[in-house]
Chain A
Amino acid sequence: MAGARGCEGRAGPGCAGGAVPPGAGRRPRMAAAASPSRELTQNPLQKTWEPYDNGLPAGHSAQRGVCMTNCPTLIVMVGLPARGKTYISKKLTRYLNWIGVPTKEFNVGQYRRDLVKKYKSFEFFLPDNEEGLKIRKQCALAALNDVRQYLSEENGHVAVFDATNTTRERRETIYKFGEENGYKTFFVESVCVDPEVIAANIVQVKLGSPDYVDCSNDEATEDFMKRIECYKNSYETLDETLDKDLSYIKIMDVGRSYLVNRVMDHIQSRIVYYLMNIHVTPRSIYLCRHGESELNLKGRIGGDPGLSVRGKEFAKSLAQFINEQNIKDLKVWTSQMKRTIQTAEALGVPYEQWKVLNEIDAGVCEEMTYEEIQENYPLEFALRDQDKYRYRYPKGESYEDLVQRLEPVIMELERQENVLVICHQAVMRCLLAYFLDKPAEQLPYLKCPLHTVLKLTPVAYGCKVESIFLNVEAVNTHRDKPENVDISRPPEEALVTVPAHQ
Chain B
Amino acid sequence: MPMELTQSRIQKIWLPNDNRPALPRRSCGPQLANSPTVIVMVGLPARGKTYISKKLTRYLNWIGVPTKVFNVGEYRREAVKHYSSYDFFRPDNEEAMKVRRQCALAALRDVKQYLTEEAGQIAVFDATNTTRERRGMILNFAKENGFKEVKLSSPDYRDCNSTDAMEDFMKRINCYQASYQPLDPDDYDRELSLIKVIDVGRRFLVNRVQDHIQSRIVYYLMNIHVQPRTIYLCRHGESEFNLKGKIGGDSGLSNRGKKFALALNKFVEEQNLKDLKVWTSQLKRTIQTAEALQLPYEQWKALNEIDAGVCEEMTYEEIRDQHPEEFVLRDQDKYYYRYPSGESYQDLVQRLEPVIMELERQENVLVICHQAVMRCLLAYFLDKSADEMPYLKCPLHTVLKLTPVAYGCRVESISLNIEAVNTHRERPEVSAALPQPFPGVPFLSPMVTRQCRCPGWAWGDYCTVRCLEVPLELHRGSCSAKMWPIKGFPRENDSCMCLLPSVLAQMKVHPGIGLSWALTFAFAIICLPKEGMDYWMEKVASPKCPSWLAEPKLSGSSNISILCVFPGMPTAPRGYQSAVL
Contacts and interface: CB of A to CB of B under 8 A. Distances in A.
Interface of A: 19, 21-34, 36, 38, 40, 42, 47-49, 51, 62-63, 65-66, 240, 244, 255-263, 265-266, 269, 272-273, 276-277, 304, 306-307, 312, 315, 331, 333, 336-338, 341-342, 345-346, 350, 352-356, 366, 395, 401, 404, 408, 412, 415
Contact of A257 (B206, B219, B354): B206
**Would you call the interface of chain B mostly helix, strand, loop, or mixed?**
mixed
B296 A30 contact: yes
Contact of B296 (A62, A272, A350, A404): A62
Contact of B222 (A47, A51, A269, A306): A269
A428 to B, nearest CB: 18
Given A26-B302, A49-B299, A353-B24, 17 more contacts: A19-B298, A23-B353, A24-B354, A28-B299, A31-B287, A32-B296, A49-B284, A258-B206, A260-B204, A260-B222, A263-B222, A269-B219, A337-B14, A338-B5, A346-B1, A355-B27, A408-B29
B202 interface: yes
A31 B296 contact: yes
B284 A40 contact: yes
A261 B198 CA distance: 9
A25 B351 contact: yes
16 contacts: A22-B354, A26-B302, A30-B298, A40-B288, A257-B205, A259-B205, A261-B204, A276-B218, A307-B3, A338-B14, A346-B1, A350-B22, A352-B30, A355-B27, A355-B347, A404-B301
A27 to B, nearest CB: 7
A19 B298 CA distance: 10
A288 to B, nearest CB: 17
B491 interface: no
Contacts of B30: 331, 333, 352, 354, 412
B355 A26 contact: yes
Contacts of A240: 203
Contacts of B350: 24, 355-356
Contacts of A304: 341
B208 interface: yes
B203 A345 contact: no
A337 B7 CA distance: 10
A240 B354 CA distance: 30
B202 A261 contact: yes
A448 to B, nearest CB: 22
B361 A34 contact: no
Contact of A276 (B24, B206, B300, B341): B206
A174 to B, nearest CB: 21
A51 B24 CA distance: 44
A43 to B, nearest CB: 10
Contacts of A62: 296
Interface string B281-306: 01110011011111111111110000
A257 B208 contact: yes
Contacts of B22: 350
B358 interface: yes
Nearest to A59: B296
B209 interface: yes
A354 B13 CA distance: 10
B223 interface: yes
A31 B302 contact: no
B118 to A, nearest CB: 23
Contacts of A42: 284
B295 A33 contact: yes
B212 A412 contact: yes
A21 B351 CA distance: 14
B351 A266 contact: no
Nearest to B357: A22
B243 interface: no
B301 A256 contact: no
A329 to B, nearest CB: 11
A342 B13 CA distance: 12
Contacts of A25: 301-302, 351
Interface of B: 1-3, 5, 7, 12-14, 16, 22, 24, 27-31, 185, 202-209, 211-212, 215, 218-219, 222-223, 252, 279, 282-284, 287-288, 290-302, 312, 341, 347, 350-351, 353-355, 357-358, 361
A65 B185 CA distance: 44
Nearest to B196: A259
Contacts of A22: 354-355, 357-358
A28 B298 contact: yes
B154 to A, nearest CB: 16
A412 B211 CA distance: 10
B148 to A, nearest CB: 15
Contact of A258 (B13, B29, B205, B312): B205
Given A22-B358, A342-B5, A352-B24, A401 B215 contact: no
Given A352-B30, A352-B31, A401-B301, A66 B296 contact: yes
Nearest to A331: B30
A38 B290 CA distance: 11
A447 to B, nearest CB: 27
Given A269-B222, A356-B28, A23 B354 contact: yes
A48 B299 contact: yes
- Which of B14, B312, B354 has most chain A Cβ within 10 Å? B14
A395 B1 CA distance: 37
B351 A24 contact: yes
A89 B205 CA distance: 22
Contacts of A355: 27-29, 347, 350
A354 B29 contact: yes
Contacts of A63: 296
Contacts of B291: 31, 34, 38, 40, 51
A336 B222 contact: no
A93 B405 CA distance: 39
Contacts of B206: 257-260, 276
B358 A259 contact: no
A395 B309 CA distance: 10
A273 B219 contact: yes
B279 to A, nearest CB: 7
B124 to A, nearest CB: 21
Contacts of A258: 204-207
Contact of A26 (B31, B222, B301): B301
A391 B543 CA distance: 66
A342 B22 CA distance: 16
Contacts of B284: 40, 42, 49
Q: Which 10 residue pairs of A and B lie closest in terms of their CB atoms, listed nearest first?
A: A23-B354, A26-B302, A28-B298, A22-B354, A257-B207, A29-B299, A260-B204, A258-B206, A28-B300, A21-B358
A21 B300 contact: yes
A32 B22 CA distance: 51
A33 B294 contact: yes
A22 B351 CA distance: 11
A48 B202 CA distance: 38
B121 to A, nearest CB: 16
A364 to B, nearest CB: 11
A62 B295 CA distance: 11
Nearest to B362: A21
Nearest to B279: A28
Identify which of A40, A258, A315, A404 gathers the most chain B CB atoms within 10 Å of its CB: A258
Given A33-B295, A34-B294, A353 B13 contact: yes
B523 to A, nearest CB: 27
Contacts of B218: 273, 276
A341 B7 CA distance: 11
Contacts of A257: 185, 205-208
Given A257-B206, A269-B361, A33 B296 contact: yes
B83 to A, nearest CB: 38
A49 B302 contact: no
Chain A CB within 10 Å, residue with most, of B12, B22, B298, B361: B298
Query: Considering residues B7, B290, B351, which has the most beta carbons from chain A within 10 angstroms of its beta carbon?
Result: B351
A406 to B, nearest CB: 12
A408 B355 CA distance: 14
A345 B298 contact: no
